[in-house]
Amino acid sequence: SDLQKQEERGELLQPLIFVLLVLCSVVLYFKVSLMDPGFVMPEEEEGEGEGQGVVAIPQIPGDVKLRRCGYCLVKQPMRAKHCQLCQHCVRRYDHHCPWLENCVGERNHPLFIVYLSVQLLVLLWGGHIAWSGLYFEQSWEWLQHNIFLLMSFFLIFIFTIVVLLLLVSQLYLISCNTTTWEFMSHHRISYLRHSELENPFDQGIILNLWRFFC
């Protein structure tokens, strides 16, 4: 049959890989959106010293102490922030993603980067498929027959730019060992505002990436 001939020629391998990538993207989306991003629980306060964060980062002045959250009343670890949408404090809070309806924090941040990478690959491949199906002709009839492909390519192009910019900005912040929240609100965060260094958590690109992903 034609299907067997296509399989023998290896023509079914690329569509199969593309479908698997799409499924992987969907699984990663639900995994990142449903998992605990690193919520700070009240029972975790026992055993946490007042100067735990100061000991780990000696460049931060000693008068910067862990404070109690005014919303959920838990003692916030260093780099944690309360998310009013999730109603929890999140460890190493990066941002609240409206597309995921979940925070990106200490536990799901690496998986979020993997999800963005897979999503970008799917979008680039989908854009290539949409573009390869277009045969340009200057006629109204051609436009009517190809309007769906044109709209698909335009939407894929927009989403590709958004995902690419987000991924590049995330990788840059990770390489500096800072978060989106710390980058945007540096002047309002006490342990950064009172620090002698602009970024006391930066330990070099290689070590920053290693500690984040490994």
Asked which of 2-11, 82-91, 115-124 is least confident by mean pLDDT, the reply is 2-11
Q: In angstroms, how far apart are the furthest CA atoms of the chain?
A: 77
Residue type at 118 in one-letter notation: V
Taking the C-alpha atoms of residue 99 and residue 6, their distance in angstroms, rounded to an integer, is 38
* Cβ contacts of 36 within 8 Å, gap of 6 or more: 107, 108
Q: For residue 85, give both structure tokens.
A: 């949408």
Of 97, 103, 176, 214, the catalytic one is: 97
pLDDT value at residue 50: 43
Structural element, H or E, at residue 104: strand 102-104
Q: What is the pLDDT of residues 96-145, one digit of tens each?
A: 999 999 999 999 999 999 999 999 999 999 888 877 766 666 666 766 77
Of residues 126, 97, 125, 121, the one with CA closest to residue 34: 97
Domains of the chain, by residue range, sit at 2-41+64-213
Q: What is the pLDDT of residues 159-191, one digit of tens each?
A: 999 999 999 999 999 999 999 999 999 888 888
The pTM assigned to this predicted structure is 0.82
pLDDT value at residue 194: 79
Cβ–Cβ under 8 Å, residues 51 and 1 = no
SS (H, E, C) 12-50: CHHHHHHHHHHHHHHHHHHHHHHCCCCECCHHHHCCCCC
Confidence bin at 54 (pLDDT 50/70/90) = very low
Cβ–Cβ under 8 Å, residues 104 and 95 = yes
Q: Please check the confidence at residue 51 and state whether its pLDDT lies above 90.
A: no
**Active site (annotated) includes residue 24:** no
- Mean pLDDT in the chain? 84
